[in-house]
């Protein structure tokens, strides 16, 4: 029996995606011990495919405990540097599995909650109206540019959605304190497991490409997801109503681009539209929300 060491770099959404890779690994190596290293071990709690999950920040004695004298399979590479990912040939999950020679059979992200968790966290989100879960902005903390045109939902779209739904729904806006807020929404800052319960309780969902859309898929809930620089063919799911940005109408300055066309943080020089309002058709977003 070998120790399989699976390291995940990147944000919490990537760790949610990685739950699908864990399932594929365990199917191929059911007798081996799967050890996950991540910045977000809370994603893997109660996951039946993961034998042990460790935080990047706490790996003392790791070599002694898990490598020295052991049979080891090391799955440590970053799929973002693979040719098929850079060339946008297939979904990230397929690239991720196949670079480790793991057979990919359309495994999808999954999260596992206990009934006690659901009951406990649900009390934080009691609501007199149906819940509309909204995530408009992504990325790590303390970003110099608060709104990334390449990733985040444009203000004109958010404001029209709020205008349309704020009377019928309580719009719970998943955001950090350092992220953009909107009137007629309820800001929510909570730990990851609580946010999973919030998404589970919600009746409508509008997200961009960040952890919430991966979490929604992991709960098998359909959401409207807006895409700009990234694409649903690489990061998305058929469960969702995926809306891609309109055709570009300005020439971007790409002198800083390396392995991807656009910096997901929203480089100011790379903006490929004449104005922010050109990115999405607001009516298309509103129509899609009616269908979920």
Residue 144: CATH number of its domain? 3.40.50.2000
For residue 81, the enclosing domain spans 3-99
Judge if 69 and 159 occupy the same domain.
Answer: no
Split the chain (292 residues) into runs of 10 and give each run's mean pLDDT: 97 98 99 99 99 97 98 98 98 99 99 98 97 96 90 98 98 95 97 99 98 99 99 98 99 96 96 98 98 94
- The pLDDT, as a whole number, for residue 144 is 84
Q: How many independent structural domains does the chain possess? A: 2
- The pLDDT, as a whole number, for residue 141 is 82
Please report whether residue 110 resides in a domain.
no
Judge if 88 and 189 occupy the same domain.
Answer: no
- The pLDDT, as a whole number, for residue 192 is 98
Please report whether residue 20 resides in a domain.
yes
Please report whether residue 167 resides in a domain.
yes
How open is the CA angle 160-169-193, to the nearest 5 degrees? Answer: 105
- The pLDDT, as a whole number, for residue 84 is 98
Judge if 16 and 90 occupy the same domain.
Answer: yes
DSSP label at residue 123: G
Judge if 133 and 180 occupy the same domain.
Answer: yes
Judge if 277 and 175 occupy the same domain.
Answer: yes
Please report whether residue 105 resides in a domain.
no
Judge if 65 and 159 occupy the same domain.
Answer: no
DSSP label at residue 173: E
Q: Within 13 Å and on the Cβ side, how many CA atoms surround 23?
A: 19
Please report whether residue 104 resides in a domain.
no
CA 236/CA 230 separation, integer angstroms: 9
- The pLDDT, as a whole number, for residue 11 is 96
């Amino acid at each position: 029996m070998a120790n399989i060491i699976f390291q995940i770099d990147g944000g919490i959404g990537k760790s949610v995606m990685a739950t699908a890779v864990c399932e594929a690994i365990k199917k191929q190596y059911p007798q081996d011990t799967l050890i996950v290293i991540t910045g977000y071990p809370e994603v893997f709690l109660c996951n039946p495919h993961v034998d042990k999950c460790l935080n990047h920040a706490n790996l003392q004695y790791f070599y002694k405990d898990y490598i020295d004298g052991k049979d080891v399979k090391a799955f440590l590479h970053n799929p973002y540097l693979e040719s098929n990912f850079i060339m946008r040939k297939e979904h990230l999950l397929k690239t991720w599995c196949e670079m480790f020679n793991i057979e990919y059979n359309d495994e999808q992200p999954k999260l596992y909650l206990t009934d006690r968790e659901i009951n406990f966290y649900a009390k934080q989100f009691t609501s007199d109206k149906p819940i509309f879960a909204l995530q408009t902005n992504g990325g790590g903390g303390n970003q110099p540019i608060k709104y990334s045109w390449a990733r985040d939902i444009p203000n004109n779209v958010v404001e029209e959605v709020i205008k349309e739904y704020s009377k019928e729904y309580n719009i719970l806006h998943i955001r950090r304190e350092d992220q953009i807020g909107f009137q007629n929404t309820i800001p929510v800052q909570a730990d990851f497991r609580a946010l999973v319960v919030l998404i589970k309780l919600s009746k409508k969902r509008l997200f961009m490409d960040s952890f919430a859309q991966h979490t929604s898929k992991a709960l098998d809930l359909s959401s409207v997801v807006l895409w700009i620089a990234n694409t649903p063919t690489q990061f998305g799911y058929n469960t969702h109503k995926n809306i891609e940005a309109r055709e570009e109408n300005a020439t971007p300055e790409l002198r800083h681009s390396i392995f991807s066309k656009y910096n997901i943080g929203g480089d100011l020089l790379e903006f490929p539209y004449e104005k922010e309002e050109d990115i999405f058709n607001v009516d298309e977003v509103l129509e899609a929300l009616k269908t979920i």
